[in-house]
Amino acid sequence: MAKSSSKTQFECGVCGRVTAKWVGKCSQCGEWNTVAQTVVRAEDTSTTASALDRVSRAVESFASERADESPGRVGVSTPDVATSSAATYPAPDLPKTEVEDRNAAVELVRISTEGTSYMSSGIEELDRVLGGGFVAGSTTLLAGDPGIGKSTLLLQSAAAIANTGKTVLYATGEEALEQIRIRATRLGVKGDRVFMLGSGDVLKIVDRVAELRPAVTIVDSIQTATHPDLDSPAGTISQIRECASFLSQIARAAQTALMLSGHVTKDGNIAGPRVLEHQVDAVLQMSGDKVGMLRMLHGVKNRFGPTDEIGVFEMRGEGLAGISDPSSVFIQQREAGSGLLSGSAVAMVVEGTRSLAVEVQALATPSSLASPRRVANGVEISRVHMITAVLAKHMRLPVSNHDLVISVTGGLDVKEPAADLAIALAIASSLLDLPVKDTIAMAGEIGLSGELRSVTRVDRRVAEAARLGFGSCVIPKTAGEAAYLGKVEVLRPVNIAEAVRFALMSPESKGDSVGGLASGVEVRRSL
């Protein structure tokens, strides 16, 4: 039996740089307190050698079987290009070559995509974010806070895929199998063709993959996965990196869609080395207020589809339910006549292929502090600072001596600059105590000179506003001409002063549908 020796090294949790001694600041990425001690084996033991041999034989077996099934294909496959509606286009009719050496260089035009397609997850909102569904041989990382609903979503997807006759392998190192069975009963999941493995040992997972040949393999979570070749405990940088790389190779060889779940830190970053995001093909981030009912699924990275899509779910007693019309949820509390309340505006934003109407609320109160507070939920605080500076400079609004609280209802994080106009009007409305007309929706980016800058996909925003029953839509004049719907009045202001005149009710009659303040001068006089 071969002897093994071990050595101690120090590794950065962000960039993965290895040093011989501990340092407080990583010299490569510049981050502080990210270097941790790890123990690695200097030599392969008999266990390690056996593991590597098993993996090698498993990969060869998978590859040979695939070659036997389609002898005329190139041994490299990629998914077809998918549109936002998850439609696929046929591969061009090119000559195919047989590649005996899988490490050989292959001309790009001779690589076949025949037989490669998207496999539906059984959940429409998840398919939307994935770009159409899972791709055989791909690796997807689902990240989110503990308790946000990752395991619930994975279990529901596993059951939906199994209902189509496919086999699913679900490996977990976090929970006992009895706990998952209880959750499945609560969710109404039968579990036929869903095979459970109560271990995070990657070699045991490979054995089950070779035995069951599942269409989808789920590992919950990557932080609990372990490789016997490493002495470090589960969750360490070396374990997460090596296990993710190991499982990804097996997934490509076995043509199984690999789904990894992962936790995030208190800062919202994926726990583990930064290289983990580069090892996988897609990264999905689940967010939301655990106290509330809504959950958002964002596509952060996707090699097989769009990276800006969003899926919206509602956490119910029977599990996560997709919301096909999220706009109605985000503005459902805006009843008729709510426009009499100041500090509220509706922004038309675009997330991926869908246009959403979100309510932006602002509260401005006189501050007793030398530096007034700025609180932002759902929008970047840097954009709030920029917008308040523009309002102070070009509208002479007293934002410098007021505390401001900005919030996007529903828990949605809005990063699109097109929400600038709604944020500005909500702040102006609260400062002036003049409501924004409840029949108006808006979209526009604000420049530092107070001008309104163009936004993209105007038709889609206006169409969504019309569908939701808004009578008017404020769009920057620089957005250009478009085929607007006749039932929506399109207002085209040039700057923030004109937008205020269009959107805010007049002080004399807050119920007027037309009118408002004539100019920025009148706004100043009303203070």
List per-residue pLDDT tens for the chain, 527 residues long: 344 456 677 888 777 777 878 888 888 777 888 888 776 654 444 444 454 455 556 656 665 665 555 444 333 333 333 333 333 333 333 334 444 455 678 888 887 766 567 899 999 999 999 988 999 999 999 998 888 899 999 999 999 999 999 999 999 988 899 999 999 999 988 888 999 999 999 999 999 998 999 999 999 989 999 998 888 888 888 888 889 989 998 898 888 999 999 987 766 667 666 778 888 999 999 988 777 788 999 998 999 888 888 999 999 888 999 998 888 888 865 654 444 678 999 999 998 888 999 999 999 999 998 899 999 999 999 999 999 999 999 999 999 999 999 999 887 889 899 999 999 999 999 999 999 988 899 999 999 999 999 998 898 899 899 988 899 999 998 876 655 556 788 899 999 999 999 999 877 655 443 333 434 434 444 43
Q: Secondary structure of the chain: what % helix, strand, coil (to 5)?
A: 30, 25, 45
Structure tokens given for 527: 């203070």
Please state, in angstroms and rounded to a whole number, the distance separating the CA atoms of residues 213 and 255.
9
pLDDT at 61: 66
Structure tokens given for 356: 């959403």
Q: Outline where 412-481 has alpha helix (H).
A: 420-432, 458-467
Please state, in angstroms and rounded to a whole number, the distance separating the CA atoms of residues 468 and 171.
44
Name the pairing type of β-strands 194-197 and 168-172.
Answer: parallel
pLDDT at 37: 78
Structure tokens given for 105: 């260089």
pLDDT at 236: 84
> Does 1.10.1040.10 match the CATH number of domain 62-324?
no
Q: Is the peptide bond before 221 cis (omega within 30 degrees of 0)?
A: yes
Please state, in angstroms and rounded to a whole number, the distance separating the CA atoms of residues 74 and 112.
6
pLDDT at 100: 45
Cα–Cα–Cα angle for 144, 147, 149, rounded to 5 degrees: 70
Q: Three-class SS of residue 198?
A: coil
pLDDT at 332: 66
Task: Just give the CATH number of 330-525.
Answer: 3.30.230.10
Please state, in angstroms and rounded to a whole number, the distance separating the CA atoms of residues 476 and 427.
19
DSSP code, position 476: -
Residues in contact with 11: Cβ distance below 8 Å, sequence separation at least 6, in sequence order: 17, 18, 19, 35, 36, 38, 237, 238
pLDDT at 389: 95
Please state, in angstroms and rounded to a whole number, the distance separating the CA atoms of residues 156 and 173.
18
Residues in contact with 229: Cβ distance below 8 Å, sequence separation at least 6, in sequence order: 41, 44, 47, 48, 51, 52, 242
- For 348, the enclosing helix (H) or strand (E) is strand 344-351
Q: What are phi and psi of 11, to 5 degrees?
A: -130, 135
pLDDT at 385: 95
Please state, in angstroms and rounded to a whole number, the distance separating the CA atoms of residues 97 and 106.
9
pLDDT at 70: 47
How many CB atoms lie under 10 A from the CB of residue 477?
15
